[in-house]
Every structure is written in structure tokens, then in C-alpha cells.
Structure 1
Amino acid sequence: MVDFHFSASLVFSILIPILFFVISKLKTSTSNPTKLPKSYPIFGSFFAILKNRERYAQWTSEIITSTPNLTFTLRRPFGRRLVLTANATNVQHILKSHFNNYEKGDFFRSTLRDFLGDGIFNADGENWKFQRQVSSHEFNTKSLRKFLETVVDSELSDRLVPVLENAAAHETVLDFQDILQRFAFDNICKIAFGYDPGYLSASLPEEKLAVAFEKAVKLSSDRFGSFIPYFWKIKKCLNIGSEKQLKIAVRQVREFAKEIIREKKQQLDGKSGLESSSADDLLSRFLSSGHSDEDFVADIVISFMLAGRDTTSAALTWFFYLLSINPEVESEILREIKEKQEATSAYDEVKEMVYIHASLCESMRLYPPVPVDTKEALSDDVLPDGTVVRKGTRVTYHPYAMGRVEKVWGKDWAEFGPERWLEREEAAGEWRFVNRDSYTYSVFQAGPRICLGKEMAFIQMKRVVAGVLRRFRVVPVVVEGAEPVYIAGLTAKMKGGFPVRIEARAEAAS
């Protein structure tokens, strides 16, 4: 242990003065941010990465979109390389045609294992296949109808609308990002685990779980920015700093997950074999499949909590912000809401909301809930654009940058334009949605790992948009001229939350 402490101290004593020297030089530099970052012996482009760590997605997007083939190689410390691409042909190569050569990989799995364990979003191979197969039953049409009519609608009418009505009546400022996270968290717990945490109840309880979950997501994500992986591993071994905080947060999250599992086991034990085998929530299916090990099932629970809470809430947060600065889009959405409210069922109503669907796609083009995703090459390869990928190299496809490619989206790519997803049907005079292939628009991944919850996410988001906008205006509380900041982690966030005032519509539909 003495030798270990001495070695760590020696490394820091050598590197820290160099770090401060180079950072001081970077602060005085006026280099063009769209040029490839400078690379130094041993350090690679670490100093440029450090300088841009608060805007990593934006910085790498600027570089990618300035290159001819929409691909560049970022040199990391000690000779490690990271290939980043927004080239749709490369994305198809990685996610489909050479799928078996690109996995999450040891680096990604080890970095997130403390938090996500072997859950579906941190799994490869047979483990991933098993979890995906069991999970797929949750997303058929019957389950989607049930999700909308028994989960989303009750959470909307019994919790979200009353919270917004109260805020409107008392002119309260709400953090709408937090409200949407609470809404999504209740929804995923209900549909996936048959459990209601009541996180969006009227008192807006300060749940220890929510704080721990948020901290675990952030600190796990921060590991990827470490100078070398050994730094966070050293802190973990010594149980100090951010790693000590992460350990505490993860323990709290896992205890919550295991509590849900134990309650579900008791429910299943009290049912007959037929009732148990026909259980229709995700957790029941996993427990009934013979995988009753608490640690493994907790991994699955945490992964779905992450997906269900953070992705849809992130998408809706940026959607409502974009509506606030594009009133003409909001007017068109209100027109569609009034037209479709006579639909025979809630499910049919949201399925027919074409303009809202296009608006959500457009919002996620500009502000994807997952800004980047990384795979690791199992063997040497060459991407279609000629980029050489060595075994063990990490390859990142970049949805944030892909939404900013002028050749794909036009010179007006920076504008919020739902019409780019629509065509007019001449006979009926109505909008028709025009989809983009999943390799050009990779917000939901593509290929064998395409997001299972895509349709469920759209149903939930469209129902929220209609349910909120037909009754309220969402008005951001911002300093004049200020714009919200997009923060990239495991999922995207709006820095500092999304403070809004809620105004009741005089013309609200009954």
C-alpha cells in the first residue's frame, strides 16, 4: 500500500505542473474551434478535451461537421484513439452490416458497471440478447394501448395537470425539467415494474432516490472524462472524492431497486402458476423467466429507470423550450390537437397527431436525448469512408452532430422546422409524415440494437404535449437574450433546469 500511494503521488506531482502550464497556454490561444485539436506526445488532445469538457457534444460536433467525410480521430492520452463520425454510411456499417464487430466493449462496461451492472444498456453478447428478447414483449400494440390508457392518462390527469393548475393559479415558477422527470419516472416504474413511487404527487416530494439517481448518472458519466482510467480507479480504491460519493449514491439506488424486486417476488409467490406466468409487467417477466438473482434483476431495473426517466423527459424539456420561441409551430400544434380530440380512443388520437410527431422528431434532431454513443471494435476494420479502425479502438457515432449536417438537412439546419418531416397529401390536403432512415437520424440507434421503446416514447410524449398544451401555455423564465445550455452526459440535460411559468388558456378545450 505504501508503494501504491508513493506511485500515485509521483504521477500527480509530475503531471499536474504540466497540466497547468498547457492549460494556461490554451486560455490565451485564439485557435479556430472547428480545426482538429492539437495533439501532444503522451497527452494527445487531452488539454483541448479538458478546455471543452462543459461543451463536449458541441465542440466535437463543430469539428466533425467541418471535415469532408464527417469523421475524425481524437487522440487521447497514452496513444488511445477515439473515432467520431456523423457519416450515415459509417453509422450503418457500425450498427448493422458489421454489428458483430462493434460492441459496448470492456472500457464502456467497466466504466459504468458500478451503476448499471450488466443491465441491457451495459451488456453485450448472449446477456444482451436474453434481456432484449424478454423486454420485447413489453412493446407490442396491446401493451402500448394499456400503457397509454392506464398509466400515462392517469398520471397526466391525476398528477401533472393538477400540479400545473396549481402553479398557474399561484403564479409559481416551476422547474419544468424536474416536473417532466418526475412524470416519466412514475410512468416507467408503473409500466415496467408495477410499482408507483408517487414522485409527481402534489407535494413534489424531495426523494432521496431521485437525488441519488441523478448523482449516480453524473458521476458515472464523469468517469469518461478522466485523464486516464486509472485516475478514477485509484480514487475508487482509496474510497475518496467523487468515487466515494458515487459508491453511496449507487448503494441507495440499488437498495431501492432490490426493494421493488422483493415486493414483486412476494406478489408473484402469492399467485398461481398460471397467473404468475401471465404477469404483464417487465419485472414480472424477468422474475418468471427463472432469473431471480437480485443483483442481476436490479441491473435490469436500473437500466430501465435510466431510459424511462431521462430520455423522454430530456426530449420534452427541449421540445417545450423550442415551442416557446417558435409560436407559429405552437399554433399549428393547437390546431391539430383540436382536430384530433374527437378520435374514438386516446391511442387513435395520438397515432393521428402527425404534426406533433414531426415536431418531436425535429426537436430531437437539434437536441437528442442521447447526444453520442460509443462502441468498441473487436478486430481491425476500415469504415466505408476509409477511416482505419484498429482492434480495441472506440468508435462514437454522434446524433447531435448528425442533426447539424448541412448536406442532409439543408442550409436552414439550425432552424426548428417540423415541415422538413412532412408532405402535403394533395387529395386530402393533410400532412403526411416522411420518415428518415435510422442511420441518418440515429436518435433511437439503429440495426439490431434499435431502441425497443421508440413507439412507447412517442406515445407518451405526444399525449403529454396534447394534454399540456390544450390547457396551458408554458412560458420560460429567462434573462433576456440568454439561451439554455445543452449538457451532454449519459443523457442530455438543460443546465440549471428549465424554469417556467404556467398560464391557463382561456380557450382550453373541455
Structure 2
Amino acid sequence: MFKGPGLFKATRLCTANPLDVHHILSKNFSNYPRGDTFTQIFDILGDGFSNTDGEVWEFHHNTIMSLLKSPSFQSLLEDTIWNKVEKGLMPVLEYVCKEEVEVDLQDMFQRFAFDTISILLFDSDPKSISLDFPCIPCEKALSEIEEAIMHRYILPPSLWKLQKLLGIGSEKKLSNAWKINQSGSSGDPNKFLRDTLLNLVVAGRDTNSSALSWLFYLLSRNPMVEDKILEELHTQLNMKMCVNLKDFQAIDLHKLVYLHGALCEALRLFPPVPFQVKTPLQPDILPSGRRVDHKTSVILSFYSMGRMKSIWGEDCMEFKPERWVSVGEG
């Protein structure tokens, strides 16, 4: 439990207790909306699913889940990803390997994800992942928005609100970035659609790029795991040294049990969303015994929970895909 000093008397409870997390995100979900503070910090996301509660969130959840489960969307997703891998990602990777060019993997994966989500949502390919690594104002603005939002989390509310009023610091960057991405005012009848699409772009771009970046970082530090993944690829997919991406489909990927385990390990150690903040509507007692009320911001630390010996054992800090593979698999 943390209590702010002086004028900043906000109370924050940070927990990595799995029972607390389950209580807040599942068992007593309706009592833990994001709250006004969260909405203010993420005001740029408007009425999208990342920044709403209650009936609006339910509408987003049901609509998006229905879309994701649609066979036609799954087919479109598979085709879009493979086309972007073949025509965008692979040529860039082949070039940087041949020329021994140093690249920022996270930036490359962000560009790949941004192009993919743009094609899916807008039927338009910005081609941000290409040999010349072009500067796409909209894509760059997303990074500046996220940096400014992180500053809002760190700084006392009164300070970032003063920066916003004066148009200085990270708030100035946020305002400029918003102008680049904005396509209407608050009175625009298309605002709800715009907010929804912006939320999907942010979610589709950053979660995937973060997970892939950390996966390759971990593989670079664990060559034995890399060797096992390569062995599984050659064994299960009958791959040759020169792979034609059209020769195998996403339906074959269920065979890659060890690779799946490696992805799960990367997500455990470096979750794309490392924490989440909730505020109770009504006073509550968490399974851990802590009392919370509407003045308490509860921080769910997924990052910490993924590194607890009580959950994962003494080797919790090690990168071991095997912990996700059952005896009958792999």
C-alpha cells in the first residue's frame, strides 16, 4: 500500500496475488471499473474499448469478440499476415542480414504490426516496413502518444494537467500527435467509430511488437532454446533451408508446441501490458485481506506475478519453454 506525500494523498495498492487478480478481473469484475482517473489519463482513446466501462465496454467486447471469431475474419487475417511477411518483412530481414545492417527489432515489428492492422481495418497498406524505413507521421505519432501517457502515470495529476494547460513538455507532444491522428471533433457523429478504430490500431500494433521483440531478445540469450525451436520447425513442418512461405499455412502451426511454449515464456517474463489499474465502486475486501474503497487505486502487477517463486518455482527467472509443454506433447 502506497500513500502519496503532502498534497498528493492518493492511495495505491499494488498486488501480484493471483487470488486478488482473479477477484478483480473475474469474480467481482463489475465492482472494479477503470475509473475517472484512468479515463483522464487515456482521454485520447475516447470511447474506445480500452477506456470505457459498463454498457459501452460490454458493447465493444461483444462486437469485437464476434468479429475475431468470424471464419471470414480469420481467413482475412491469415492472408494479410502471410502477404505482409512475404512482401514486407522477409525482404527487409534478408537485406539487413546480407548487408549486416543494425536495426531496431522493436521498431521493425511495430511497423509490421502497424501495416497489418491498417490493412485489416482500413484496407490500406501504409508500407511502413520497407527497405527505406519511411517515416509515417501517423505511426510515429502513436509512439509519442504512448510516451506522453506513461508520463501521466508517473507525474502527479496536477503537474501533467498544468503542462497540458500551458502546452509544454510531454503534453505538447501529445497534443501534436493527436492532431496528426485526429479526424473529427467531439461533436463528430463518426467520433465513436474513430475512437474504436484508434483503440484497435494501438492494441494491434503494440502488443504484438512487444511480445515478438522480447521473444527474440530471450532467444538471443538462450541459444539452446533457439536450436530446439529450429529443430521443431524442420521436424514438424518438413521445412528446408529455403522456405517458400506459401508451402505451409497457419493451420499447421498447432504442431509447434515448443515454439508456443517459448512465446508463453516471453509473455510471462515480459507481458505487453505489465500492469492494470482498477478502482472499486464499493468498499471491498480482497482475498489477500486488504480493504479497498473508491479512494484506492488497485494496481494489478502482471509483471511481478510472472516472476513469483510461489507460482513458478525457484527457477521463475529462467526462460524455460518446457514449463508450458505437458508430458504427452512436444
Helix, strand or coil at the partner of 2:19: helix
Counterpart of 1:411 (choices 310, 314, 321) is: 314
Closer/same/farther in 2, CA of residues 350 and 226 from structure 1, 3 Å limit: same
Report whether the alignment pairs 1:109 with 2:5.
no
Q: What is the alpha-carbon distance in structure 2 between the residues aligned to residue 163 and residue 345 of structure 1? A: 21
Contact 1:341–1:349 (CA<8 Å) still a contact in 2?
yes
Give the letter aligned to residue 156 of structure 1.
V
Deviations 1:40-98 (A, max 9, x none): xxxxxxxxxxxxxxxxxxxxxxxxxxxxxxxxx11124321111111111111101111
Larger Rg: 1
Asked if 2 retains the 8 angstrom alpha-carbon contact of 1:148 and 1:346, the reply is no
- Shift of residue 145 of structure 1? 3.7
**Which amino acid in structure 1 is aligned with residue 160 of structure 2?**
W
Aligned partner of 1:360 in structure 2 is: 263
- Contact conserved, 1:378 with 1:392, CA < 8 A, in 2? no
Name 1:310's counterpart in structure 2.
Answer: 206
Name the aligned partner's letter for residue 134 of structure 1. T
Separation in 2 of the partners of 1:181 and 1:119? 21
CA distance in 2 between counterparts of 1:136 and 1:381 reads 30
Change (3 A) 1:148 1:354: farther
- Pairing of 1:410-449 with structure 2 (within 5 A): 410-425=313-328, 430-431=329-330
Q: Distance in 2 between matches of 1:144 and 1:412?
A: 40
Conserved? CA contact 2:11–2:295, under 8 Å: no
* Residue aligned with 2:299, SS: strand
Q: Is the 8 A contact 2:34 2:277 kept in 1?
A: yes
Which one-letter code corresponds to 1:212 in the other structure? Answer: A
TM-score, normalised relative to structure 1: 0.60
2:235 to 327, 339, 343: 339
Give the deviation of 1:293 after TM superposition: 2.4
* Structure 1 match to 2:243: none
Q: Which of 157, 176, 200 in structure 1 is aligned with 2:86?
A: 157
Q: Which amino acid aligns with 1:418?
A: P
Shift of 1:235: 2.1
Alpha-carbon offset, residue 316 of structure 1: 0.6
Identity %: 38
In structure 2, the partner of 1:395 is 298
1:143 is displaced (CA, Å) by 4.2
Cα 1:374–1:121, aligned 2, differ >3 Å: closer, same or farther? same
1:330 maps to 2:330 = no
**Deviation at residue 415 of structure 1 after TM alignment:** 0.7
1:342 positional shift: 4.9
**Other-structure match for 2:54:** 125
**What is the rounded CA distance, in whole Å, between the counterparts of 2:53 and 2:27 in structure 1?**
17
The reply to whether residue 173 of structure 1 matches residue 102 of structure 2 is yes
Q: Is the 8 A contact 2:77 2:120 kept in 1?
A: no
Name segments (4+ residues, structure 1) moved above 6 Å. none
CA–CA distance in structure 1, aligned partners of residues 178 and 70 of structure 2 = 34
1:90 pairs with 2:20: yes
Residue 182 of structure 1 deviates from its aligned partner by 0.4
> Can you give the 5+ residue segments of structure 2 that lack an aligned partner in the other structure?
240-246
Q: Which amino acid aligns with 1:314?
A: S
Q: CA deviation at 1:412?
A: 0.8
